[in-house]
Amino acid sequence: MIKVAVAGCIGRMGSTVVETVQAADDLEFVCGIDPYAENTPYPSFKTIGEAVDACDFDVIVDFTQPSAVADNIRTALAAGVNCVVGTTGLSTETLEELASGAPEGVCLFYAPNFTTGAVLMMQFAKAAAPFFPEAEVIEFHHARKKDAPSGTAVRTAQIINAARNRSSEAPGKETEIDGCEGARGALVDGVPVHSVRSMGFVATLEVIFGSMGQTLTIKHDSWDRTSYMPGVLLGIRSVGEREGLIIGLENFML
């Protein structure tokens, strides 16, 4: 049994992590940590220092705030606790500095994206890109999403471009009819990206590769934060077998 604590335990993501750990047969949920925790139906502490002093756990999962996460990690690593971190706002430099203070055999795992399917989609796009002359990305989000294209779509286009060892052959925006500019999408590193914004979607991303007489499509749909949980569980189960700094769920997947 891997013993697990959860920092940010009463937040939206943290509380889902608590439920998920409690439901897993091979994990033991030890305690929650949150400055706002009150009357939780499980042991909880205001600070990670108190938790480390009072309880024994192998892994801490951190979904807190940019202002809190660095101190949490520092305290946990010093206590020999492996870290699984999903809180955003940490630079690679900060992560490296934090990991440099870790005792031997202790691991700091950080992932910008815990959705297993999205991580695989990007890895598959990287693997397919060299073999297909053409690639386009279409992403679908709810109409309330303010920016276009999405961050994941931009990253996917960048990954595709980097994996091709040639400049793009994407047919260009010069083919657009006057008054219909934008039909061919946004060219991100030579990859056309199209953004659909509509009620009825949550988050879908599709990569379409084209070659002679064939297409290969990789599509990922996710619709709520439970899509992060398989990745969080994978992190908890894998972090004990590594040490030092590991960035990205793909390190545990391929």
- List binders of a second copy among 82-101 (CB under 8 A): none
Does position 220 bind a second copy by CB under 8 A? yes
Three-state SS letters, 190-214: CEEEEEEECCCCCEEEEEEEEECCE
Catalytic residue among 3, 46, 142, 145: 145
d(CA 67, CA 253): 30
Q: What's the closest the beta carbon of residue 170 comes to a second copy, in angstroms?
A: 8
Does position 126 bind a second copy by CB under 8 A? no
Catalytic residue among 3, 46, 126, 141: 141
Distances (CA, A) of 192 to 37, 119, 131, 133, 209: 46, 20, 17, 13, 11
User: Could you tell me which of 185, 204, 203, 202 has the C-alpha nearest to residue 194?
Assistant: 185
Is 141 considered catalytic here?
yes
d(CA 211, CA 230): 33
Does position 26 bind a second copy by CB under 8 A? no
Does position 165 bind a second copy by CB under 8 A? no
In the bound state with a second copy, the residue whose beta carbon lies nearer, of 29 and 228, is 228
Does position 201 bind a second copy by CB under 8 A? yes
User: How many residues form the binding site for a second copy (CB under 8 A)?
Assistant: 78
> Which listed range, 35-43, 57-65, 99-107, 175-183, lies at the site for a second copy (CB under 8 A)?
175-183
- Selected binder of a second copy within 51, 77, 81, 218 (CB under 8 A): 218
In the bound state with a second copy, the residue whose beta carbon lies nearer, of 10 and 186, is 186
Does position 47 bind a second copy by CB under 8 A? no
In the bound state with a second copy, the residue whose beta carbon lies nearer, of 98 and 157, is 157
In the bound state with a second copy, the residue whose beta carbon lies nearer, of 72 and 115, is 115
Q: What tokens were used for 177?
A: 């009819």
d(CA 58, CA 39): 24
Does position 131 bind a second copy by CB under 8 A? yes
d(CA 191, CA 75): 43
User: Could you tell me which of 91, 101, 169, 99 has the C-alpha nearest to residue 129?
Assistant: 169
- Selected binder of a second copy within 210, 240, 244, 248 (CB under 8 A): 210
User: Which residues have a Cβ under 8 Å from the Cβ of 15 and sit 6 or more positions away?
Assistant: 9
- Selected binder of a second copy within 12, 39, 212, 241 (CB under 8 A): 212
Cβ contact 207:160 at 8 Å: yes
Q: What's the closest the beta carbon of residue 235 comes to a second copy, in angstroms?
A: 12
CB atoms within 10 A of CB 172: 12
- Give the residue numbers annotated as catalytic, written as ranges: 141, 145
